Structure 1
Amino acid sequence: MHGKINACWLVGDAPMVFSEDIVKQFGTVHVSDLMLPGSLVWNKPLIEFVCCPPTASAILAMPLPLVPRMDIFYWPWTPDGLYSTKFGYQFLRREDESGHGSSSHAPSLPSACWKGLWKAPTLPRRRETAWRACLGVLPVNTILHARGLAVDPVCPRCPDEVETIEHALLCCLMARMVWFASPLVYATVEQVLKRVSTLLPPSDLQPVMQRSSRSLPPVWSRPAVGVFKVNLDAALQQNGEAGGGLIARDSYGEVIAAACRLLGPVLAPSIAEALALRWAMLMAKDLGLRRVAFETDCLVLFDVWSRTNGSSILDSIVMDCRYLLPNFDVFSFLFVRRSGNCAADALAHLSFSYRDFVCLEEVPQEVLDIVQYDVMTSRPSFSS
């Protein structure tokens, strides 16, 4: 016999499943009871003993903070943990499509179609119009009339036809004239999509391309004189286990330390990257590095660091990292291309074979060529 206890602090609101004997033995179980006494570390043997395997895995994948903090509520279906009407609507839509919500007249399209629609290289208002048409909520006369507005459902251009979405966009006389005047004519969907990409003016493409136009060096760059650079990265295995790697170098490209470490099970790749940053900051502190520039190739983590609010699990780990800031006289956190973070990436993958490993003033043989290439392709730093 098993007993279920609702554990809303687990991702997905998964219930905790205990045997009835365990429940009788322990009585009321608090989250703190699942940690080692006097610490913020999961008691893995106890968790695996009292919980079923899926529940134990879900608990052990929850990262604990460095210092005690007040519990807070967060919205688990948004990246930042904050609720908004937009994400609330999207949640209800997903519930509806999965059969758990109210009925809807929207078409059931594959998720790839919706993603393709929102990534289409055109103006946002054009994507929104197509989205409304696909959902069946474009405000044509028949829809407005059905909602009780004093609107004639007949098409204002075709007196013998009612104005439905299909009629307004495809079948109306004026719509057909536009289609026949367009280079698209009546083409297949594939032909339309291919042709549209060549008809967009540069002003339409500019908003889409702005985000990816960051000016970043393609290779590793040396830090300023007197500053140490710590590159960090994380790697994941198919079983959800994560490993981290870091390498600290000075302005000459000389290695101060290289390390890799198993980070344990994680809920998402971005959480692994955040745990790698927290570990890297603790390592730099232990090495006595006071003037440090940390670099990551994880844009999600970099964006979370840049924002000031958020209640997600990722934000909680970043809060730990901010707690460590007083340990550094000079601190910066930078985003770098993956090609400039190859040494840390290689060390992260080595963590699954080397496990916890630290070496001072040298690197494992598997990473030596990468480190030498970084030095050869980087420009020397000069003091100001």
Structure 2
Amino acid sequence: MYRNPELLLTKVYKAVYFPKGLLWVAKKSWRPSYAWSSLWRSKWLFEEETMWRVGNGQSIMIADERWLPSGCLSIYREDVAAECGVVRVSDLLLPGSQQWNNELVNFLYWPPTAASIVKIPLPLVGGCDVRFWPHTVNGEYTTKSGYAVARSKAILAAASSSFSHNVTPKVWKVLWKAPTIPRCRELIWRGCVKILPVRSALRRRGMDVDDMCQWCDSAQETIGHALLFCPVVRRWWFASSLGLRLDSEVEFHEFVAALFSQAEMSVVAVFCQLCYIIWEARNKLIYDGVQPSTEVVLSRAAGLASTTGVAHVPLRNGAVSDVWTRPNEDTIKVNFDAAWADTRGASCGMVARNGAGEVMAAATRPGVDALSPLLAEAAAFRWAMVLSMELGFRTVNFETDCKLLYDAWRMKDLGSSYLFAILSDCKDLVQFFDFCSLSFVRRTGNKVADFMAKRAGDFGDSVWIDEVPQAAMQLILDDVRALVPS
């Protein structure tokens, strides 16, 4: 049995599925392992949820593949497409160009679908089409995101039925605020959503195990029986400081909901800790053959009650600037930003200043196609880099107020999502600078670029040399004044 099944799932899917696509044709075979059976049964999730990231479009069939931003195979004029010779996504691009053929797209697709297609970001120099997982920022599968998608599709409705019936949001708030260590709270949550690996659950999932309780050997081991209602466990609850007399059996999540809705926080904490110790004792009995006494269990629970939680590490003061700061004397600082609207698309703005705080250039660009605010920020970064090259800037410090973009830029391994396709273009552009870096500043230090992006619709596709629009001049002065000690 693997000690970390979540890590196993993530590594197997990354190594087997994404680079090679072998999971599509994988067979279950005869007498497979429990781990492989679980992986194979979840193949449907990847078949339904993974989608293509458009590079040159030559590998993607427009009618049979999942590549549209909406994730579905939207209806299009199939007969007309066949007459036009449009079979692959590459046929929707302008010949010899990495740009959408807007006229053809609008002719073949319904207006909402066509509008989303032309917003798909294309790499500057083409490249291969790549399958990616659209539910994470970097396009790589994680166990957490896969579980969230499966739950949203109601596949785990039976396992999580307590969410809509017995366990209310108020009960969850009580659990997560309980003054005990995280692993105790997590055990209660896992019991309530029925994902604890008790023997009845393992047998139901295909494992050849005896589903009888290891303590009493007289009843099936369910979550409620293992943690509350086994005769051996009942004695521990009655002997504990809570003095619980558990006479009638109910579902574990029903018992938790009833207790947490009226108990004090101290009682909730003791309950969570004793449940954890009981589960620990159950595992020691199964794997080590050790059967602890009542005194040992209660003593262990009392010791756990005195354990402190995880210490919080404070953030370093001044780690991120709140105001615009001057670059080095020989460096140009280019602040950029994007303003995004679902209906109107995105707009970009930038301002370049030298070490003395003097404006070197400013620019706006409206009508930028983007699927999301984050992709709009990435498109603004790429646009600012290309414009800086055209203006002759060679030593540049680019600055953004988008933390997600900054974190993605710092990752060593690029993912397979559209965000990383744009960032891949940006990394290719770095070679054209003598020095190029990206830094992060809070919104208050990026006010000029933010203003330019929001007013791009008024200014149009414009570039100012050695100046900014008069409406932005006051913000430039505010940045300079913020650097002068009072």
1:39 CA displacement: 1.3
1:132 CA displacement: 0.9
Identical counterparts, % of pairs: 35
Match of 1:206 in 2: 312
Opposite residue 276 of structure 1, the aligned amino acid is: A
Match of 1:371 in 2: 476
Instruction: Measure, in 1, the Cα distance between the counterparts of 2:263 and 2:95.
Output: 62
Instruction: Measure, in 1, the Cα distance between the counterparts of 2:119 and 2:263.
Output: 43
Q: Aligned to 2:76, what secondary structure does the other structure show?
A: strand
Task: Find the structure with the greater CA-based Rg.
Answer: 2
Instruction: Measure, in 2, the Cα distance between the counterparts of 1:190 and 1:217.
Output: 45
Match of 1:247 in 2: 351
Provide, for residues 151-199 of structure 1, a one-character-per-residue CA deviation record: whole Å limited to 9, x for no partner.
527789xx99987449837996755855699xxxx76489859x99xx9
Provide, for residues 282-323 of structure 1, a one-character-per-residue CA deviation record: whole Å limited to 9, x for no partner.
111111010100111111111111112211100000000001
Q: 2:389 aligns with which of 273, 285, 288?
A: 285
C-alpha change, 1:336 and 1:161, in structure 2 (3 Å) is same
1:263 CA displacement: 4.5
Cα RMSD of the aligned pairs, angstroms, is 3.9
The question of 1:152 aligning with 2:213 is answered yes
Match of 1:301 in 2: 405
Instruction: List runs of 5+ in structure 2 lacking aligned partners.
Output: 1-61, 245-258, 270-304
Instruction: Measure, in 1, the Cα distance between the counterparts of 2:354 and 2:307.
Output: 47
8 Å CA contact retained: 1:154, 1:162: no
**What is the aligned length?**
361
Opposite residue 168 of structure 1, the aligned amino acid is: L
The question of 1:91 aligning with 2:153 is answered no
1:228 CA displacement: 0.6
Match of 1:50 in 2: 108
Match of 2:249 in 1: none
Provide, for residues 106-146 of structure 1, a one-character-per-residue CA deviation record: whole Å limited to 9, x for no partner.
22637x95997999798653453243123112356775787
1:230 CA displacement: 0.6
Q: 1:104 aligns with which of 133, 143, 158?
A: 158
Q: Aligned to 1:334, what secondary structure does the other structure show?
A: strand
Q: Aligned to 1:49, what secondary structure does the other structure show?
A: helix
8 Å CA contact retained: 1:7, 1:15: yes
1:245 CA displacement: 1.1
1:88 CA displacement: 3.2
8 Å CA contact retained: 1:140, 1:168: no
Q: 2:458 aligns with which of 353, 357, 363?
A: 353
Instruction: Measure, in 2, the Cα distance between the counterparts of 1:9 and 1:103.
Output: 28
Q: Aligned to 2:132, what secondary structure does the other structure show?
A: coil
Q: 1:75 aligns with which of 133, 139, 142?
A: 133
Instruction: List runs of 5+ in structure 1 lacking aligned partners.
Output: none
C-alpha change, 1:51 and 1:162, in structure 2 (3 Å) is closer
Instruction: Measure, in 2, the Cα distance between the counterparts of 1:88 and 1:187.
Output: 30
Opposite residue 262 of structure 1, the aligned amino acid is: P
Match of 1:18 in 2: 76
C-alpha change, 1:179 and 1:142, in structure 2 (3 Å) is farther
1:72 CA displacement: 1.8
1:374 CA displacement: 0.5
- Compare 327-336 and 357-366 and name the one that shifted more: 357-366
1:232 CA displacement: 0.9
Match of 2:255 in 1: none
C-alpha change, 1:189 and 1:268, in structure 2 (3 Å) is farther
Provide, for residues 185-230 of structure 1, a one-character-per-residue CA deviation record: whole Å limited to 9, x for no partner.
x76489859x99xx999853516x66x9771121111101110101
Provide, for residues 245-286 of structure 1, a one-character-per-residue CA deviation record: whole Å limited to 9, x for no partner.
111101111111111112533211110000000001011111
Instruction: Measure, in 1, the Cα distance between the counterparts of 2:434 and 2:175.
Output: 44
Opposite residue 163 of structure 2, the aligned amino acid is: L
8 Å CA contact retained: 2:366, 2:456: yes
8 Å CA contact retained: 2:181, 2:308: no
Higher relative contact order structure (alpha carbons within 8 Å, sequence separation ≥ 6): 1
